[in-house]
Amino acid sequence: MIDANTIAKVRAGLQTPRRMLIGEQWVEAADGSRLETKDPADESVLTTFPNGGVEDIDRAVKTAREAFERGPWRDMTPAARARLIWKLGDLIDANADELAVLETFDNGKPIGVSRNLDVPFAAERMRYNAGWATKLTGETVPLSLPFEAVAYTTYEPVGVVGHIIAWNAPLASAVAKLAPSLAAGCTMVLKPAEDTPLTALRLGELIEQAGFPAGVVNIVTGTGEVAGAALAAHPDVDKISFTGSTEVGKMLVRAAAGNLKRLTLELGGKSPVIVLPDADLDKAIPAIANGIFFCTGQVCTAGSRLFAHGKVFDDVIAGVADIARSMKIGPGIDPETTLGPLVNGKQLQRVTGYIRSGQEDGAKVAVGGNPVDRSGHFVEPTILTNTRPDMAVRREEIFGPVLCAQSFSDEELDELAAQANDTTYGLAANIYTSNLSAAHKLARRIRAGTVKINGGGLDQGVPAGGFKQSGWGREYGRDGVEIYTEKKSVIATL
Ligand code: NAD
């Protein structure tokens, strides 16, 4: 529980307009323009921050390039880099309450989630990746050449990285990108989402406090259309690492063509949840509810398409609906809240628009279905039944607390994987059953980057990413560091 004094102090601190970080300076946008960030729980302006543009991105990229080519960063030993990254993790822990309050004000998520999940995850992500700095070993290669030679491989930092992130887990996403790219030895420009810049900017202060050389991490705030697009198109950026929508991901692919930038894309999802008739419903029902209502459904891996066997369908719907009805809807800063607001008005329009379109297409509302009549961007946790595969609510990512359900029969069991795969996305899938053989058979046939059997979480060591239009590449684990490297082969005649 975070005490009222800390909350009041953070709120008072928001009186100070923010600046962005280029090199060792906290600066305004070159043209002096600013944006507002608002509290999604009541639409009040929290503070303002620079509306960075093309010139600012160019300056930040030049600074990152200078730090990469000539700064002390490239000459530091991996162990020295690891110590700095670890220290940043400890500083995140030391400032956990403040970061959690900032995150909840800016994004709207329940304070318990910010404090007990997002912030500890961010600190742990730093420490996990600190370990990789000293362990990115290459290999020696047995040669079959007609002369005596030796060959080995090394991992080198890819160079200057542009990180562009979404608003749904602002601190966790920023750290998810920074930690492994720092471990790999890159320098970078981070562009946070325009709805939620606050924790990324606070992180910038902690990066300075930890003692990272100037220019290694630069943070430019601004819109996607201007600052994001300028970073994506910049000819001196070696790689873009992106978390966001599939639509923008495709724009980045086009923008990368100019200098053949490397790309990692963590995009949208429409993840299936399969409940077989032998599932342990006491465990499955709360997990299914959490899978779609957690953070108001604004989670890329949200389990949004439910396929429950006819024998258990009614029980599953009734159980998840009971949980939906019991959720306490309110501002995230209230510790009692279990369902916070959506991040902005556009997102509220989008979610309620999908619920309406589902009903027009013949879906039935089992619970919820309406915006909440209060200020802020609140919507009820919702279940739509009688959904069909051709409906927009079943095909498109809603990014809200809306579960689209259908039942299946014994005769359709063979078709289940095909139905689960009937989407352009392939980020995650969930299977609930007591029959592990059936679970693993299904897991094999489902085209998704992560398959969870009877639940599962996000672990620093387990690679995550998307099949199909859910992305390119994998974050987390060793893969998550290698994406920030180039592999070099050295071969020498002896
Ligand atoms: P978005 O694509 O609109 O924006 C994401 C980021 O891209 C923001 O920083 C934005 O400013 C920037 N951006 C927007 N237009 C741009 C452009 N033309 N050029 C460069 N940058 C641009 O996504 P969003 O609405 O902020 O986030 C929701 C989406 O993110 C959902 O689709 C969700 O599934 C996805 N997401 C994916 C993951 C994952 O790991 N796969 C995690 C979280 C969110």
Beta bridge partners of 191: 164
Digit-coded pLDDT (tens) for 57-72:
999 999 999 999 998 9
Q: Is 228 in the pocket of ligand 1 (CB under 6 A)?
A: yes
pTM recorded for the entire structure = 0.98
Tell me, yes or no, if 295 is annotated catalytic: no
Tell me, yes or no, if 266 is annotated catalytic: yes
Out of 103, 186, 295, 300, the active site residue is: 300
- Identify whether 464 is part of a domain: no
Same domain as 276, residue 160: no
Q: Report the distance separating Cα 275 and Cα 316, nearest Å.
A: 9
- Identify whether 465 is part of a domain: no
Please tell me the distance between residue 391's alpha carbon and the centre of ligand 1 in angstroms: 24
- Identify whether 150 is part of a domain: yes
Out of 266, 380, 475, 482, the active site residue is: 266
Would you call 487 helix, strand, or coil by DSSP?
strand
CATH number for the domain harbouring residue 296: 3.40.309.10
Q: What is the pLDDT of residue 76?
A: 96
Same domain as 133, residue 81: yes
Q: Report the distance separating Cα 309 and Cα 312, nearest Å.
A: 6
Q: Determine contact, residues 407/303, Cβ cutoff 8 Å.
A: no
Same domain as 261, residue 157: yes
Quote the number of domains for the chain. 2
Q: What is the pLDDT of residue 1?
A: 84
Same domain as 160, residue 143: yes
Q: Is 342 in the pocket of ligand 1 (CB under 6 A)?
A: no
Largest CA distance in the chain: 79
Q: What is the pLDDT of residue 434?
A: 98
Closest atom of ligand 1 to CA, residue 251: 18
Structure tokens at 426: 């392939």
Each residue's pLDDT tens digit in the chain (494 positions)?
899 999 999 999 999 999 999 999 999 999 999 999 999 999 999 999 999 999 999 999 999 999 999 989 988 999 999 999 999 999 999 999 999 999 999 999 999 999 999 999 999 999 999 999 999 999 999 999 999 999 999 999 999 999 999 999 999 999 999 999 999 999 999 999 999 999 999 999 999 999 999 999 999 999 999 999 999 999 999 999 999 999 999 999 999 999 999 999 999 999 999 999 999 999 999 999 999 999 999 999 999 999 999 999 999 999 999 999 999 999 999 999 999 999 999 999 999 999 999 999 999 999 999 999 999 999 999 999 999 999 999 999 999 999 999 999 999 999 999 999 999 999 999 999 999 999 999 999 999 999 999 998 889 999 999 999 999 999 999 999 999 999 999 999 99
Same domain as 338, residue 250: no
Same domain as 44, residue 137: yes
352 CB-side CA count, 13 A: 16
Same domain as 287, residue 192: no
Structural domain containing residue 259: 4-267+470-491
First and final C-alpha spacing in the chain: 65
CATH number for the domain harbouring residue 199: 3.40.605.10
Q: Determine contact, residues 401/339, Cβ cutoff 8 Å.
A: yes
Q: Is 227 in the pocket of ligand 1 (CB under 6 A)?
A: no
Q: What is the pLDDT of residue 126?
A: 98
Q: Is 346 in the pocket of ligand 1 (CB under 6 A)?
A: no
Same domain as 202, residue 78: yes
**Computed over its alpha carbons, how large is the radius of gyration of the chain?**
23
Beta bridge partners of 307: 274, 406
Digit-coded pLDDT (tens) for 249-282:
999 999 999 999 999 999 999 999 999 999 999 9
User: How many helices and strands (H and E) does the chain possess?
Assistant: 17, 19
Same domain as 435, residue 297: yes
Same domain as 315, residue 230: no
- Identify whether 380 is part of a domain: yes
Would you call 444 helix, strand, or coil by DSSP?
helix
Q: Report the distance separating Cα 476 and Cα 36, nearest Å.
A: 33
How, if at all, do strands 149-157 and 20-22 pair? Answer: unpaired
Dihedrals φ, ψ of 162, to 5°? Answer: -105, 120
Q: Determine contact, residues 230/54, Cβ cutoff 8 Å.
A: yes
Q: Report the distance separating Cα 255 and Cα 239, nearest Å.
A: 11
Same domain as 34, residue 175: yes
Same domain as 436, residue 479: no
Closest atom of ligand 1 to CA, residue 194: 11
Q: Is 233 in the pocket of ligand 1 (CB under 6 A)?
A: no
Structure tokens at 249: 């991901």
